Every structure is written in structure tokens, then in C-alpha cells.
Structure 1
Amino acid sequence: MTTWITICDTCKREGWDAAAMAQTDGEALAGLIEAAASGVAGVKTRRVSCLMGCKSGCNVAIQSRDKLNYTLGDFIPDDEAAAGIVAYAQAHAQSATGQVPFRDWPHSIKGHFVTRHPPLPDSE
């Protein structure tokens, strides 16, 4: 089953300056994640404009149908963060429930979890 990395491309970290920076921090992180995820089995990416986590930007959501889903934030847009996010998403894709053992989390995502969302029920 596919795990989606939903990336907020409007995130701006503290100190972001429109006059000095050609793109938002979210756009920078999105480009890095897209490159890192290229060709990774079970993982797809998409950009959205605003995950409403502005106090902890840069934000991403790790999502898949019928699994636990997660929001992560407060990333610096760099290669290490992007690689960790993609590695976690790949482990999420391989998990039947979406839960990934802490020992298997990439170091670069530890401390970045904001929320966990249980799967939606199948019926009302």
C-alpha cells in the first residue's frame, strides 16, 4: 500500500525573508523530499499549501489509507531531514498498521512528531 508524504510548501521558518529568499522553506524541503523519494517503492509525494502548523514549520504528513497517520514538523530544509522523512515513510508503507518501532526511526526525525491520527472507521 502506498504511503504519501504530504509536504507543506508554504512553511516559513523563523527569520524567513521574502526579499532575500527565492523560495519558502517548505518549497525547499519539498524539492529535497521529492528528489529523495524518487523511485522509492511504496512512497509518493504531494505538495499542499498549508498544513496549519506554522509554529513548527517545516511540516509534513505521513499518510496511508487504513493506517496510523502522522504529522511531523520543525524541520530544517536539508538533505538529512529529507532522507529521514523518506526512510520513515518507506517503513510506514511496509508496516501493516503504520506503526514503526522507535528503534527503526531515522535519527533525523526523532523529536519531530507533532500528532498521530488513528485510521478512520470503516463504518458509522
Structure 2
Amino acid sequence: MTSWITVCDTCKTEDWSEARSGGRTDGEVLADLVEEAAEGTELRVRRVSCLMGCDNSCNVSIQAHGKLAYTIGRFDPTEEAAEGIVAYAKGHADSANGTVPYREWPQAVKGHFVTRHHPIPEE
């Protein structure tokens, strides 16, 4: 089953500055890096404007039908973060219910979990 990585492209870290970033948000930079890291996988990546987690930017959600969904945040827009997000999403995709054993979590996502949502009931 395909897992989706949803990246908030409006997120800005606390130290964001237009001059430093060339006008691009940290979320846009992270989204580019996640898309690049996910190339060649069966993961799907999409961008949305605002996951309403501004205190935890940069924010990403990982979800799939019938599985637990997670919001993770407080990332810097780096290749390491993007690769960790994609590695975790691969584990999510490979799992039966969305649970990835802690020992399999990439270091880059540890300490970044914000919320967990249970799947919507079928009935």
C-alpha cells in the first residue's frame, strides 16, 4: 500500500529570513529535498499550504489508507532530514498498520513526532 508524505510548503523555521532564503520558505526547501529523496520509491509526495503546526515547523505528515498517520515536525530543511523522513515513510508503507518499530526509526526523525492519528473507521 502506498504511503503519502505531505509536506507543508509554507512552514518557516524560527530563524527564517527572506534575505537568507531567497524568498523561499523552509517548507519549500524541505519539500524539494523530500521529493528528491523519494524519487524511485513507491512513496507519494505532495505539498500543502499549512498543516497548522507553525510552532513545530517544518511539518510533514505520513499517512496511508487504513493505517495510523503521523505528523512530524521541528525539522531544519536539510538532506539528512529529508532522507530520514523518506526512510521512515518507507517503513510506514511496509507495515501492516502504520507502526514502525522504534529500533527501525531513522535517527533524523527521533524526537520529531508531534501527533498520531488513528485511521478513519470503515463504518
CA RMSD of aligned residues (A): 0.7
Per the normalisation by structure 2, the TM-score is: 0.97
- CA distance in 1: counterparts of 2:19 and 2:102, whole angstroms: 40
- CA distance in 1: counterparts of 2:121 and 2:52, whole angstroms: 24
Q: In structure 2, what is the equivalent of residue 120 of structure 1?
A: 120
Does residue 35 of structure 1 match 2:36? yes
Aligned length: 122
- CA distance in 1: counterparts of 2:111 and 2:20, whole angstroms: 29
Determine helix, strand or coil for the equivalent of 2:82. helix
Determine helix, strand or coil for the equivalent of 1:74. coil
Q: In structure 1, what is the equivalent of residue 17 of structure 2?
A: 17
Q: Once the two structures are superposed, what CA deviation does each residue of 1:29-59 show, in whole Å capped at 9, x if it has no partner?
A: 0000000001113x11000000000001000
- Structure 2: runs of 5 or more not aligned: none
Q: In structure 1, what is the equivalent of residue 88 of structure 2?
A: 88
- Structure 1: runs of 5 or more not aligned: none
Per-residue deviation at 1:21? 1.9
Q: In structure 2, what is the equivalent of residue 5 of structure 1?
A: 5
Per-residue deviation at 1:18? 2.1
Per the normalisation by structure 1, the TM-score is: 0.96
